Amino acid sequence: LPELKTLVSEVKKVVESNEVRRLPKPPKGTRDFTPEQMAIRERAFGIIASVFKRHGACALDTPVFELREALMGKYGEDTKLIYDLADQGGEILSLRYDLTVPFARYLATNKIENLKRYHIARVYRRDNPSKGRYREFYQCDFDIAGSQYAPMVPDFEVLKVLTELLDELDIGDYEVKLNHRKFLDGMLEICGVPQSKFRSICSAIDKLDKEPWEKVRKEMVEVKGLTAEVADKIGTLVQQRGSPLVLLEELKKEGSPFLENKGSVAAMEELSTLFKYLEASKCIHRVVFDLSLARGLDYYTGVIYEAVFKGTTEVGSIAAGGRYDNLVGMFSGKQVPAVGVSLGIERVFNIMEEQEKSRKRVLRTNQTEVMVLVLGKDLAEVAIQLVSDLWAAKLKAEFACVAGGKMTREITNAVNAGIPWMVIAGENELKEGNVQLKNLIASEQTTIPRERMVAELQRHIGTK
Amino acid sequence: LPELKTLVSEVKKVVESNEVRRLPKPPKGTRDFTPEQMAIRERAFGIIASVFKRHGACALDTPVFELREALMGKYGEDTKLIYDLADQGGEILSLRYDLTVPFARYLATNKIENLKRYHIARVYRRDNPSKGRYREFYQCDFDIAGSQYAPMVPDFEVLKVLTELLDELDIGDYEVKLNHRKFLDGMLEICGVPQSKFRSICSAIDKLDKEPWEKVRKEMVEVKGLTAEVADKIGTLVQQRGSPLVLLEELKKEGSPFLENKGSVAAMEELSTLFKYLEASKCIHRVVFDLSLARGLDYYTGVIYEAVFKGTTEVGSIAAGGRYDNLVGMFSGKQVPAVGVSLGIERVFNIMEEQEKSRKRVLRTNQTEVMVLVLGKDLAEVAIQLVSDLWAAKLKAEFACVAGGKMTREITNAVNAGIPWMVIAGENELKEGNVQLKNLIASEQTTIPRERMVAELQRHIGTK
């Protein structure tokens, strides 16, 4: 055994040794964000954060990992996708799987009973990566916690935020599918599903956006053990969808099976209020009441929703959320009702990248306003004096010092990079106390005294 | 053995079960950022990113974890502080320890030989947490990679960026200690230290900012195996520090031992150029040439530096960096010279928090401009219509619907939160088609037609 340990340790050394063997790469399911992608990402985050701030949310951030125990019992069948850290002595840790559970943990830790917050950060899932699906990806979350609100008012605001996000990101036509956990449970009760099978049948129903009813029915009967009769009853109810007010009206009509179930009736009351608010806020046309929406996660207790692109079945959801009134209490014993939405941003990035490509303009990856070019060897010091004056005036500037013959190449580079201004100084200009000021967009050039350089550029560019 | 497995699995279930046993907390060495802290953090990041952008840097982001092999052989004695992920099948991963190695890995992965980038992100170290020292903390990195530059020009710009950062964050008087790895190696050679002991003696020298020479000398002799004579020789040289141009002049004087060592001579040549540039850019007064600065990390090859607060020995460094010409080549086999700096932001946050407290003003955690208050039960729909008009005009607004008696409390809350405007509508106003517009800062109130609400507020607040 000691020999084995030595051998393992030797093998480890060799494996971990730093010899160049293959080109390194980011881990599977992750990616680097290139400067071009970062430019798009920052634009997207700017839009998203502005919507969140418009609704009075404050920002919050939590650690990338949590105590493993904090994540257990929250994600149902998806718990197996959680990344664990190695046990290196000390606490047992896991990477966060979403931003909702850390938010609930934060409220519990600090005994906060009332908070409207947003959180834009990465989460981690050991899922099979595919196009547009990563193991490390951003979520943009907006949540309202607290019991001081009138019924369905926070639920309304979260849905309003979701429609504003998708409208302002301008990434294509979408719809928000909406359902209610209590309504769903009522439906299962009506159909005769035993309570112990509710969550597992919900998981099956949740697949209806990707799979035909026949396949889901088969799973219910053959894997989850429902009778054919019960499954068929689910089938007749679950496939209803439509405009919220119209379908709700339908489901409330005399003779509707839903009127006989306490849970369904309570849920329809809440939905009625919610739909009234969405109508008052002119965003109800984005919402579809869809009885097949179930959502996999354990912690939802009320309204649930999911935004999808219209006309595509492949892409899946771009945002999802719902009410979770019991999650904070799972940590602290004291319930804090809460509702929220989470926007998965990777697909949004992809769409914005495509849009950007089709525009065929220069996508700037930096914001440089002025390129200082000093011609002649050993004049770096002069270039540094010039550019330092620009920096001191808070102008965004870079500098280079090249032999005169290389000027054309430097100008071409600056134009390609989208830099609007250039300061050029050769030995002649410098002797006379001048520099050349070149507008690279208009292709105009003037000679000005060196002392006027900063003021001239400030006048053209403007400083905040 | 199977029984043991069952037992372990049962124990695991109990431990991981979701019963409330104790208040949850963030993992040791990490922290949540409260809304107040986030407001300060966003201000700091705003300043830092604006300095980076002023110097033409583009943004870049890499995954939070890397293949473990990518981190091996880069951090010397600190490798033991790296967080590993559990082996759950698949690749062997570790959390990033800094942003420099992932940057080098990115360049190698994508065969990029020229990039000026910044990166603001969290890194992870299994160190002992203490006040202001975390296991998860932000670094703000600026690096210039590429061989197209004149000697010492990128080194100058990185140091310039460092002084601009610390000047503009305005967190107290500081100095930048500076040395050169080749100069240091030359010194050790001159003193008769065998080459195999260079890095380990450097680690000892690096402790001179916290420990007296006597203690460091003892470590060199008793732990690291130097003779007393060699250690004393190091002692006479290493304790020199002073104004860059003055000390360099001194070290170049006839009879200086450094003139006899090839490495030291080359290093002094580079430092001479660098100091000339720093002087031209008017920031050399921030720099101290300090022969005891050694830096623990393996990968530095040229100039090294570290910024510390003046007048305190306790706080340690707030920023550090240097030249690392061999790091990219460790991945790809092809060298890309690079130089950079890393600002550790947690201490900056702490100082800014203290500053904020002493100012005794309202620190706003959200940006709400208008509070819509509708008085009377069952008028939520009206409040939603009003606030939706404001949102549509991109005004930042929240709303509440309360009984008339609670108005005073709502106004007090809005004033305390720093919200400048309030729209108040009771049943009387609504009947007459009016709302009240209240300026909470001036404590002035006017009645206006409801249709004028958006325009009036836009006029007062201004929209971008």
Kindly report, residue by residue over B222-275, the tens digit of the pLDDT.
999 999 999 999 999 999 999 999 999 999 999 999 999 999 999 999 999 999
Contacts of B18 in chain A (CB under 8 A): 72-74, 330
Backbone angles phi, psi at B87, to 5 degrees: -80, 100
Residue A83 is given by DSSP the state: P
Q: Which residues, in sequence order, are CB contacts of B200 under 8 Å at separation 6+? A: B224
* Cβ distance of B280 and A64 shorter than 8 Å: no
A348 and A436 in a common domain:
no
pLDDT 10s digits, A388-397: 999 999 999 9
Distance, in Å, from the CA atom of A75 to the CA atom of A100, rounded to the nearest integer, reads 11
* One domain for residues B140 and B108: yes
Tally of structural domains, chain A? 2
Residue B65: in which H helix or E strand, if any? strand B65-67
Chain A residues near residue B95 by CB distance under 8 angstroms: 85
**Dihedral (CA of A313, A319, A324, A327) sign:** positive
Give the CA dihedral A207, A211, A215, A220, nearest 10 degrees. Answer: 10
pLDDT category at A311 given cuts 50, 70, 90 is low
> What pLDDT is attached to residue B464?
43
DSSP B223: I
**Residue that is last in its domain, among B312, B327, B358:** B358
Q: Is A83 on the interface with B (CB under 8 A)?
A: yes
Q: Which of A430, A295, A31 has its CA nearest to residue B109?
A: A31
Instruction: Please report, in angstroms and rounded to a whole number, the separation of the first and last CA atoms in chain B.
Output: 69
Statement to judge: residues A106 and A160 lie in one domain: yes
B60 occurs within a structural domain: yes
Q: Are residues A319 and A412 in the same domain?
A: no
pLDDT at A227 over 70: yes
Examine the fold and report which residue of A358, A389, A419 is the final residue of a domain before the chain moves on: A358
A464 pLDDT above the threshold of 50: no
**Do A334 and A358 touch, CB atoms closer than 8 A?**
no
Domain annotation covers residue B30 = no
- Nearest chain B Cα distance for residue A63, angstroms: 6
Evaluate the CA torsion angle A188, A192, A198, A204 in order and state its sign: negative
Question: In the predicted model, what is the mean pLDDT of residues A438-449?
Answer: 95
Residue A120, in any domain of the structure:
yes
The residue ranges of chain B whose pLDDT is under 50 are 18, 20, 464
State residue A55's pLDDT score.
98
- As for the ipTM of the complex, it is 0.90
Nearest CB to A84 within list B86, B330, B366: B86
**Closest alpha carbon within chain B to A123:** B64
Amino acid letter for position A416: N
- Asked whether residue A268 is domain-assigned, the answer is yes
- The boundaries of the domain holding residue A412 are 370-461
- Residue B171, domain member (yes or no): yes
pLDDT at B359: 85
Tell me: the pLDDT tens digits for A101-115?
999 999 999 999 999
- B61 and B82 part of one domain: yes
Asked if A216 and A208 touch (Cβ cutoff 8 Å), the reply is yes
Cα separation, A363 vs B59, in Å, equals: 13
Residue/partner pairs of A433-436 with CB below 8 Å, 24 or more apart = A435/A386
Q: What local confidence, expressed as pLDDT, does residue A21 receive? A: 55
Residue A212: the pLDDT is 92
Q: Are residues A50 and A173 in the same domain?
A: yes
- Please identify among residues 381-420 of chain A the ones whose CB lies closer than 8 Å to any CB of chain B: 381, 384-385, 388, 391, 394-398, 401
- The domain boundary, picked from B334, B358, B382, lies at B358
Q: Report the CATH number that the domain containing residue A403 is assigned in CATH.
A: 3.40.50.800
pLDDT at A20: 47
- Asked if B352 and B450 sit in the same domain, the reply is no
CB < 8 Å to A67, chain B: 24-25, 27
CB distance A156 to A302 below 8 Å: no
- Cα gap A381→A194, rounded to integer Å: 81
CB contact under 8 A, A150 and B401: yes
Residue B16 maps to a domain: no
Give the gap in angstroms from C-alpha A235 to the nearest C-alpha of chain B.
34
Same domain, A349 and A406: no
- Looking at the fold, whether B238 and B168 belong to one and the same domain comes out as yes
Residues B190 and B333 in one domain: yes
